[in-house]
């Protein structure tokens, strides 16, 4: 066996794409398939530089449709396989992702969101939320972790492999161009040293023995002839997803106990929101923040409880309501007032969020 | 190490070496025990676009990747002035190359200080324009307590180590440029 990619706990200063490559190596990912697109490219660059030293594989395919299907091929062979993409490439990859939902294949994909629609920018956005949680021609039977900082990018990339193989649904780490390109400090570690046991991959196909004689034949389907058969299959998938959802859903909150306004955000925007709320609380404002870590499944009970207490929510996102729509679906029927701050394709500063929260809080008092 | 936090914004034409300066200062600041967050920002162009770098150095963990006002703005080209002026506040020091004109008029009364450095001209006259960005970095170091001179030079060696080994005169040239930039900004104090 080759040397270990992350032999011990270590403080490092690196870009988010480099973090993902190290996390995938530490998680025991065996092969990456991909096609270049900014701002995801350096995941592939670092992976291709590091992977051969640790006996791991890489294949660049002709496009993202192929990269996604090749990832499914790796998974069918029982390998911890992953891919990474962004924007227009992410659109192309929806077909294999939908197949992963139908056949319950544990593909892992890291999405570094860029501006859209279309080619948009190569810089940053949170505009791939809808596509990540419910793209494809299905029911969104996916698991989506939205990270905010490099430490989480490392932690949740490792976790994504385990979640995927434990629950057998396609699993996403949703980052963005800021997280991809920025450099900050984090601690990398071998998962075993933190008590994280990696779930073993196992082949879907080519098991031991003769199919039909020694074992039942494997018959994986993504095509059905009659409506009733498809419906029964999809309902079974949905029931399995719903049963697993409470175990998977994660969220964080702070200051929500006495808050009159709770600021809701996800991903990198959360760190700006946290700082804005910290500043406001320091000056006596009754505000808090709520942040789903999983955008799908969403921590429904946590969100409902916060909405019931606060009465007024402010949703802040670098898209025009893609995240807010996820919250509204859960909050239907809640008397909580939902205010918004949308900046599609653009980042936030602490100052502008502070100003908007004050506006919303004053509105609440009048 | 810095006390409190320092927000630096660098802007220039793609290819002028803005991101290299930011990466070197970021690496040096990390090595000196600071919290650091550096984020490059540019469009799809390989050349001919304006390239921006947001760099924050602090004694506390850093929250937002971008900021409203910079403590120091460094602008290397005319177009970079237009892109960076929105980050200028009343406490901002605006450092620019003397070849860039109209800054005094544009920012009159809006910045704490405006400092013009003849970086490009000095490189042309005394050395080589390819170390223009290192002169600018020297000026930035002279203007702030972001990182030590030695720390910055060590970070340059770390980044350029292989090339310096092949061409030792490159190392001399780069270190001359950093020192020269510091001297130029000191002469403006």
Give the DSSP per-residue string, A125-186: -STTHHHHHH-SSS----EEEE--SHHHHHHHHHHHHHHHHHH-S-EEEEEEHHHHH-EEEE
- Residues of chain B positioned with their CB less than 8 A from the CB of A351: 68
- Residues of chain B positioned with their CB less than 8 A from the CB of A348: 64, 66
Structure confidence by residue, pLDDT tens digits, A190-205: 999 999 999 999 999 8
Structure confidence by residue, pLDDT tens digits, B42-76: 777 766 789 999 999 999 999 999 999 999 999 99
Q: Are residues A306 and A160 located together in one domain of the fold?
A: no
Containing structural domain, residue A170? 10-194
Distances (CA, A) of A197 to A22, A97, A163: 17, 26, 12
Asked if B62's CB is within 8 angstroms of A183's CB, the reply is no
* Min Cα–Cα distance to chain B from A351, Å: 7
Which one of A10, A11, A12, A13 would you mutate to disrupt binding with B, by most B Cβ within 10 Å of its Cβ? A13
Q: What is the mean pLDDT of residues A11-16?
A: 97
- Residues of chain B positioned with their CB less than 8 A from the CB of A272: 63-65
Q: Which of A147, A177, A194 is the last residue of a domain?
A: A194
| Percent of chain B as helix, strand, coil, to the nearest 5 | 50, 20, 30
Distance CA A256, CA A204 (A): 45
Using the structure block, give the residue that is written with the tokens 């809808």: A130
Task: Report whether A294 contacts A252 (CB < 8 A).
Answer: no
pTM strictly above 0.90: yes
Task: Report whether B176 contacts B127 (CB < 8 A).
Answer: yes
Least confident of A346-355, B37-46, B128-137: B37-46
Structure confidence by residue, pLDDT tens digits, A76-99: 999 999 999 999 999 999 999 999
Which one of B65, B69, B70, B86 would you mutate to disrupt binding with A, by most A Cβ within 10 Å of its Cβ? B65
> Would you list the domain boundaries of chain B?
5-187
Please indicate, yes or no, if residue A222 is contained in any of the structural domains: no
C-alpha dihedral, B117 to B122 to B128 to B129, nearest 10° = 40
* Min Cα–Cα distance to chain B from A124, Å: 9
Helices B119-126 and B132-143: crossing angle in degrees, nearest 10, is: 130
Give the DSSP per-residue string, A3-26: PPSS-S-EEEEEEHHHHHHHHHHH
Q: Are residues A67 and A178 located together in one domain of the fold?
A: yes
Q: Are residues A270 and A188 located together in one domain of the fold?
A: no
Helices B168-187 and B149-166: crossing angle in degrees, nearest 10, is: 150
Q: What is the mean pLDDT of residues A234-254?
A: 98
Task: Report whether A323 contacts A268 (CB < 8 A).
Answer: no
Please determine, for residue A366, whether its predicted confidence score (pLDDT) is greater than 50: no
Please indicate, yes or no, if residue A5 is contained in any of the structural domains: no
Q: What is the mean pLDDT of residues A120-143?
A: 97
Asked: is B5-187 a CATH 3.40.920.10 domain? The reply is yes
Please indicate, yes or no, if residue A132 is contained in any of the structural domains: yes
We report the CATH number of the domain holding residue A157 as 3.40.50.970
Asked if A274's CB is within 8 angstroms of B63's CB, the reply is yes
């Amino acid at each position: 066996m080759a040397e270990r990619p992350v032999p011990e706990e270590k403080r490092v200063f690196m870009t988010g794409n480099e973090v993902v490559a190290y996390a995938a190596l530490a998680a025991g990912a065996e092969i990456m398939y991909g096609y270049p697109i900014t701002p995801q490219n350096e995941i592939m660059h670092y992976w291709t530089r590091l992977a051969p030293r640790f006996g791991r594989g890489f294949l660049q395919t002709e496009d993202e449709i192929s990269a996604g299907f090749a990832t499914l091929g790796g998974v069918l062979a029982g390998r911890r396989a992953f891919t990474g993409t962004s924007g227009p490439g992410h659109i192309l990859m929806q077909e294999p992702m939908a197949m992963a939902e139908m056949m319950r294949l544990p593909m892992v994909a890291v999405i570094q969101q860029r501006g859209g629609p279309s080619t948009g920018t190569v810089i940053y956005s949170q505009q791939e939320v809808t596509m990540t949680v419910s793209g494809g021609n299905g029911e969104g039977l996916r698991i989506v972790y939205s990270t905010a900082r490099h430490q989480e990018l490392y932690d949740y990339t490792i976790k994504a492999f385990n979640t995927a193989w434990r629950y057998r649904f396609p699993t996403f780490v949703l980052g963005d161009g800021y997280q991809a390109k920025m450099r900050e400090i984090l601690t990398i570690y071998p998962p075993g040293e933190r008590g994280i046991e990696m779930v073993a991959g196992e082949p879907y196909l080519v098991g031991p023995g003769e199919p039909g004689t020694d074992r039942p034949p494997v018959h994986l389907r993504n095509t059905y002839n009659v409506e009733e058969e498809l419906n029964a299959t999809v309902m079974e998938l949905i029931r399995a997803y719903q049963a697993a959802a409470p175990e998977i859903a994660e969220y964080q909150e702070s200051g929500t106990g006495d808050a009159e306004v709770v600021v809701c955000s996800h991903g990198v925007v959360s760190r700006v929101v946290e700082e804005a709320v910290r500043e406001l609380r320091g000056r006596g404002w009754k505000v808090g923040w709520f942040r789903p870590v999983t955008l799908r499944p969403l921590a429904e009970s946590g969100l409902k409880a916060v909405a019931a207490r606060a009465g007024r929510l402010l949703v802040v996102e670098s898209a025009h309501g893609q995240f807010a729509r996820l919250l509204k679906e859960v909050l239907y029927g809640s008397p909580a007032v939902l205010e918004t701050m949308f900046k599609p394709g653009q980042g936030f500063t602490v100052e502008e969020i502070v100003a908007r929260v004050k506006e919303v809080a004053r509105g609440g008092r009048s | 190490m810095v006390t409190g936090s320092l927000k630096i914004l660098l802007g220039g034409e793609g290819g002028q070496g803005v991101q290299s300066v930011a990466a070197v200062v970021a690496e040096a600041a990390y090595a000196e025990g600071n919290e650091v967050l550096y984020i490059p920002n540019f469009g799809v162009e390989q050349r001919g676009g304006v390239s921006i770098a947001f760099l924050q150095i602090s004694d506390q963990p850093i929250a937002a990747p971008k900021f409203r006002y910079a403590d120091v703005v460094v602008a290397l080209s005319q177009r970079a002035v237009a892109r960076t002026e929105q980050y200028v506040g009343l406490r901002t020091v605006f450092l620019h190359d003397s070849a860039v004109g109209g800054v005094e008029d544009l920012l009159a009364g809006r910045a704490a200080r405006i400092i013009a450095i003849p970086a490009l001209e000095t490189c042309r006259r005394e050395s080589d324009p390819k170390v223009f960005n290192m002169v600018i970095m020297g000026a930035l170091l002279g203007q702030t307590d972001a990182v030590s001179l030695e720390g910055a030079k060590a970070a340059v060696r770390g980044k350029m180590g292989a090339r310096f080994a092949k061409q030792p005169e490159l190392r001399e040239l780069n270190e001359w440029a950093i020192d020269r930039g510091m001297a130029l900004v000191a002469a403006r104090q």
